[in-house]
Structures are given as C-alpha cells and as structure tokens.
Amino acid sequence: MNDSKRMIDLRSDTVTRPSEGMRKAIARAPVGDDVLGDDPTVKELEARMAAMFGKEAALYVPSGTMSNTLAVLSQTRPGDEMICDKNCHIFNYEAAATAVIGGVQLNTLDGNRGVLPFDDLVAAVRPINIHHPRTSLIEVENTHNRAGGSIYPYDELERVSRFARESGLRLHMDGARLANAVVGSGISFEKYASLADSVTFCFSKGLGAPVGSILVSDAEVIERARFWRKRLGGGMRQAGILAAACLYALDNNIDRLAEDHENAGRIAKVIDSSSRAKLVFPVETNIIIFEVVDKSDSIEKVREELEAEGILTLTFGNRMRMVTHLDVSSEDTDVVVEVLSRILSQAR
Ligand SMILES: Cc1ncc(COP(=O)(O)O)c(C=O)c1O
C-alpha cells in the first residue's frame, strides 16, 4: 500500500507489520535447519507453547489454515466426519482442505454465534453402521471470526468437551484468536486448552508477527502432524527468524490486546447509537460486524465513504467487518469514531 496517504486499515488484524523491536528479535535469532530438527528458536517456541497450553507437544506451521488442516488430518481417517458450526473458518475459508486432502466430511450445525447447539450436537453423532461416515472429531472456534469475535462461553465448552470424551470423540479448537478470548475472559490458555485434544493458535493476527501458527496436542498427534506438514510442503528450514517474531509477540503483544478490545468497543458504541446501521453481534473482543438498517441503503456505499476518508474495511454480503489491532492506535480510533459518526448520521 502507498504510504503517502496513511490509511487506517480495519480490514483485518492480519495486516499488522513487524515493529522495530520485533525486527531486532528476528535479526538476532539463532537458527538451524528445522526440517532436520535443529533450529533452536523454533524448538524454543514449540516448547514454550506446549507448556503454555499444558500439552505434550507443539508444531510450528506457516498458517492457521495449515494448523487446522493438520489437526483434522492427524485425528481422522478418510471417510470420517467432523461436526462443526456452519459459520466456522474451516468450513468457509479453508478451500475445503479437509475434504480435498483428508477425505473428511463436515457435518455443520446451525450454531448460535458459533456455539454448537448441544442437542443438535448429540443428535449429529452417527451410530456405527455401514451406511454412515464415522464421526470422529468435533471442532469449535474461539474467538469466533464470523460471529464477530465472540468468546465461546466456558461452561458451554466444558459441556462439549465432556460429551466428546464420553463419546470417544476428539475435540479440536481453532484458537487462531484464543489470545483475544484469554484477555477478554481472564481464563488462561491452559484452562481453555485442557478442554480440547488439539488447539490451533496464530501469531500473525492480533499478536502482530509476520508469519506463523502453532498446533498443540499430545505427542502422537504432533508426530503425525509433522509428517503431514512435510507432505504438504510446510517444512521450513531456518524458520527461527519467523519463530523469533512469535516469541517477541508472546512477550510483548498479548496483554495489549485489551486496548484493541477497548477501541472496538468505542467504535461499536457509534454503530449502536446510529439509526442508519446496527450491530449484528455484541462486540466482545476486536471484531465488529454490522449492517445498514434500511434495505434501500448499501453497505458498499458506507465502505466507499469510509475509504474516501482513509479508513479501510471489508464487506461480505450485506455486512461490514472492522477489526482493531496493534497498528490501530487510540488516536486512530478517535478518527474512526468521528468519521463513522458523521457517515452514519448522514441522510442517504
Ligand atoms: C478463526 C480463524 N481460523 C483460522 C484462520 C486461518 O489463518 P491463516 O490465514 O493464517 O491461514 C483464520 C484467519 O483469519 C481465522 O480467522
């Protein structure tokens, strides 16, 4: 993007760029060939993440999509079925990787802001019968992207987890933004992870690292995932320069997510008090999703009006998404609040 006119970029928390401090950490990182198992910085990151999540092992991978895909491939067989929410990232935005690569069918439930309806979940598990796929995995997303960054209520998660264990099913948590859930709820990474058999966690969203995600699980799953990562071309050599950015992000960028949540809350208030637009979901973390009230109005028009004033956003269907992050300061939020108030109070 051309920096001559500075834009406030609310399209996603993936747009952050490495800070000076992070770049220094990258420059200093000791590295080795990680495919051969001797990159010390990757090893440090994996050990730290396994400990932080209370799991046996962790695997550093290029993206959240790869982490989720490896989690599914390593805990299912072709012809199995995974139960998930119909708005989850895996079902909507991962190019059907689990179906194409793993031969895994998804059974999607109509969740309430990403929360699996418990009775439907119980009913969705297939009895063993030669006509049926074998249900082997349940997936939850926390925080939930398409449900406006909502935090999966802990008691609901516990219920799903207990059910999965009683039924001999595995539970995967797409925690790409689990740090936002931790900061928003005060519940630790370890406590959340104790409910799932595997967790995906991303460094390249709110935490501001340029590349990378981690899969944490038991040693056997991570061993299988390591094979799959190599098979899919995700084995990286001197990946320590990337892992160093992730370690820096863990030390410096988790607690500050509270600022992103506060900024998102301020923007949400503007929408809440406008007659032109309404929030689709309450804002709990750093994602705001809203729509225009009047059917003759257009969300695309709002997007263009914001862009003309230097504010970038994303639209999907009749909805707009704004995401606050490390590169959106409180002063930037003042500008967004002022511009958005003006635009949403204009006659159409
Ligand atoms: C909830 C969730 N899971 C997984 C991903 C995939 O991450 P990546 O873009 O690194 O593949 C995303 C990306 O936005 C996401 O929001």
- Residue 63, ligand 1, Cβ within 6 A: yes
pLDDT value at residue 313? 98
> What are the mean pLDDT values of the chain's consecutive 10-residue runs (348 residues total)?
75 97 98 97 98 98 98 98 98 98 98 98 96 98 98 98 98 98 98 98 97 98 98 97 98 98 98 95 98 93 97 96 98 98 82
Ligand 1: atom nearest CA of 65 is 11
176 close to ligand 1 (CB < 6 Angstrom): yes
Residue 5: per-residue pLDDT: 75
Select from 324, 332, 329 the least CA-distant residue to 184: 324
Smallest CA-to-CA distance from 80 within 64, 56, 67, 99 is with 99
Of all atoms in ligand 1, which is nearest to the CA of residue 88? 1
For residues 102 and 47, is the Cβ–Cβ distance under 8 A? no
Looking at residue 74, what is its pLDDT?
98
DSSP state at residue 130:
T
Right CATH for 256-345 from 1.10.390.10, 3.20.20.70, 3.90.1150.10, 2.60.40.10: 3.90.1150.10
Decide: residue 123, CB within 10 A, 0-12 exposed, 13-18 middle, 19+ buried.
exposed
Order of strands, sheet of 287-292, starting from the edge strand that comes earlier in the sequence: 277-279, 287-292, 319-323, 314-316
| Model pLDDT, residue 128 | 93
Class of domain 20-252: alpha beta
Write down the pLDDT at residue 4.
60
Output the pLDDT for position 6. 85
- Tell me 217's DSSP state: E
- Residue 193 near residue 161 (C-beta atoms within 8 A): no
Enumerate the CATH 3.90.1150.10 domain ranges in the chain, comma separated: 256-345
Every domain range in the chain assigned CATH 3.40.640.10: 20-252
Longest CA–CA separation in the chain, Å: 63
Q: Cβ–Cβ contacts within 10 Å for residue 109, how many?
A: 20
- Ligand 1 atom 7, closest CA: 64
Ligand 1 pocket member 202 (CB < 6 A):
yes
Give the nearest ligand 1 atom to 14 CA.
Answer: 14
